[in-house]
Structure 1
């Protein structure tokens, strides 16, 4: 039962968020060959001024796998 959690700045309408969620879900299904009924997606809006601090509190550095210019320490790799 995979779950994809997306955190983003506010401002997108419900239709756009559903589109984002569906595209992320389909990518996951294609990459891992799982049934799409097993994958869920959530989107949480975090104000820009709170974004970096909220993400740093919510996730350990080793859980962040892509870099971000606004969140220090998000360069997780085995290199």
Structure 2
């Protein structure tokens, strides 16, 4: 039952978000060999001014050992 949470800056169209979710589901189904009905995708828009405190610090910095892809930036430097 994979659930994928995507956090991004505002500004993408609804069509882009739907397309992203659909592609994520296709890849998850293909790679994890599970049914499409078991996959869920959430998209949350975070304002750029809130990114460091609401995303980078709690989700990236504090959980770096869980990341399979590290970002190439640090908003605190």
Q: Same fold (TM over 0.5)?
A: yes
Q: How many residues of Structure 1 are paired with residues of Structure 2 in the alignment?
A: 72
Tell me the TM-score normalised to structure 2 length: 0.80
Stretches of structure 1 that go unaligned for 5 or more consecutive residues are 73-79
The alignment's C-alpha RMSD in Å is 1.7
CA contact (8 A) 2:3 2:39 kept: yes
Separation (CA, whole Å) in 2 of partners of 1:37 and 1:29: 9
C-alpha spacing 1:68/1:54, structure 2 compared with 1 (3 Å): same
Residues 16-45 of structure 1: CA deviation (Å, up to 9, x unaligned): 101000101110100011000110000011
CA contact (8 A) 2:64 2:70 kept: no
Tell me the TM-score normalised to structure 1 length: 0.78
**Looking at both structures, which has the greater relative contact order when contacts are Cα pairs under 8 Å and sequence separation is at least 6?**
2
Stretches of structure 2 that go unaligned for 5 or more consecutive residues are none
Say yes or no: does 1:66 pair with 2:47. Answer: no
CA contact (8 A) 2:9 2:48 kept: yes
Moved >6 Å (runs of 4+): none
